[in-house]
Amino acid sequence: MKKLRENPLLLSAVIAIVALVASFWLLANPRSTLPFLLTLGALLAALLQPIPKWLKILIGGAILLLVIPAAGFKNSFLFELGIQTGIYAAMALGLNVVVGLAGLLDLGYAAFFAVGAYTWAIFGSPQANEFMPWKIFPLPGEYFYLFMLIAVVVAAITGVVIGSPALRLKGDYLAIVTLGLGEVVRVLANNLDQPINITNGPQGITPIQRPPIDWFIALLEKFGLQLSRAEAYPLFFYLLVLVIIGIVTLVNIRLDRSRFGRAWIAIREDETAARAMGIPLFPTKLLAFATGASFSGAMGALFAAKQLYVSPESFTLIQSIMILVMVILGGMGSIPGAILGAATVTILNVDLLKSASDYLNNLRNAGFTLDLGFFKYNFANLPNQLEPAKYERMVFGLIMILMMIYRPEGIIPERRHVLEMKKEEA
């Protein structure tokens, strides 16, 4: 392993070959999980290992733009997985600004996601007719892009509104207050169908307009791809998400290295010292909060358009915790870490746990008998409460506990963080 690291040529060759093999395997078996994971592993290795930049771009571009879409046409679940991963990765990057850089534990992050989702859902569906005097809703799909920007602004404003009282508090109290305010947003979404029907309460809002893609289908036809609308939408959203992830990552990197980024890190490390250096504490924290919120708001609008349906169910505490787990798993403050964490948790949650459930269900329905000689078990007796997909809380909880005990700096630690987390208390 060490030898491999010291020889960049060999390393590049190994990664390229693995990527190639994995890609062909995935294209041959688009429905099985293992080649998909291997392909992602190759992608990750290409991006993180010290290999030439052109090779990184080549492997990354080939896998993201060719292999996964090509496999996705045979198994549309891959698109779903990719879109969800992208949405969560963008949110994890947003939360990374709040938790990772500024060190403010926000347990109500899904609230901003909800605000963004409802911003487009209400005006992109007939819902707005309920309380608006002019009956022009739903707005046509072209407005989606405008509303993504509006969602960013609205979410940032919500961030300021929630942050203004909450950010005057420290550490533990901040966590519990943001948790409470996050619940407040969900309760409001659940109850604002009376006296004026704004959110349509627990039934949720549907159908929501999607951005029009006729130009996209026409564009694909020029490349010789004939796609129906239903086939083109997943590809369109997948590519849109990729673009957004690119923008968000770029913004994140720039922020990290900006004056604000350094100010946030200074506050995280030592508030008193940061203040002594002339950093205004409250406005800087508020800026971090609003920045994080705006990322989440944009993804909320996208989520509403993709899903065609929003309801308060989608914005519970478990969502906030899931995004937090992504940030923790990858490493607080680390940008590649946040993306890796988002990918891991999404795949775990959407794919692996569900596959495990299906697997157990199949065994149960088939009445399969495990016979090890000394141990005999008929799977027909398996209690049907045993469904891994329903135990996401246990999985998330376990990840949080184990990471905090054994590797608090995360899988891909940020350099500055390693020193701090491991330091003995004086």
Residue 248 CA to residue 245 CA, distance in Å, equals 5
C-beta of 120: minimal distance to other proteins in Å? Answer: 25
Closer CB to other proteins, 226 or 384, in the complex: 384
Closer CB to other proteins, 165 or 246, in the complex: 165
Binds other proteins (CB under 8 A): choice among 131, 173, 359, 377: 173
Count the residues of the shown chain that bind other proteins, applying the rule CB under 8 A.
53
369: β partners: 378
310: β partners: 205
Instruction: Candidates 41-49, 205-213, 291-299, 396-404: pick the segment binding other proteins (CB under 8 A).
Output: 396-404
Binds other proteins (CB under 8 A): choice among 7, 191, 203, 365: 191
Closer CB to other proteins, 202 or 367, in the complex: 202
Binds other proteins (CB under 8 A): choice among 70, 391, 407, 411: 391
Closer CB to other proteins, 107 or 343, in the complex: 107
**DSSP single-letter state for residue 108:** -
Interaction residues for other proteins, span 93-152 (CB under 8 A): 99, 103, 105, 107
C-beta of 314: minimal distance to other proteins in Å? Answer: 17
Instruction: Compute the C-alpha angle 194/160/328, nearest 5°.
Output: 100
Residue 288 CA to residue 279 CA, distance in Å, equals 13
Which tokens is 218 given? Answer: 């026409």
405 binds other proteins (CB under 8 A): yes
Of 108, 125, 121, the C-alpha closest to 187 is 108
205: β partners: 310
Of 300, 128, 338, 305, the C-alpha closest to 211 is 305
Q: Spell out a b/e string for 224-242, using b for 16 or more CB atoms within 10 Å of the CB, else e.
A: eeebeeebbbbbbbbbbbb
Give the dihedral sign, CA 262/267/268/269.
positive
C-beta of 404: minimal distance to other proteins in Å? Answer: 4
Q: Do 259 and 287 contact (CB within 8 A), yes or no?
A: no
Binds other proteins (CB under 8 A): choice among 45, 62, 400, 411: 400
321 binds other proteins (CB under 8 A): yes
C-beta of 169: minimal distance to other proteins in Å? Answer: 5
41 binds other proteins (CB under 8 A): no
370: β partners: 377
Binds other proteins (CB under 8 A): choice among 55, 156, 179, 339: 179
Q: Do 92 and 323 contact (CB within 8 A), yes or no?
A: yes
Residue 318 CA to residue 320 CA, distance in Å, equals 5
415 binds other proteins (CB under 8 A): no
What is the binding site for other proteins (CB under 8 A)?
Answer: 99, 103, 105, 107, 165-166, 168-169, 171-173, 175-177, 179-181, 183-184, 187-188, 190-191, 194-195, 317, 321, 324, 328, 332, 383-386, 390-394, 396-401, 404-405, 408, 420-421, 423-425
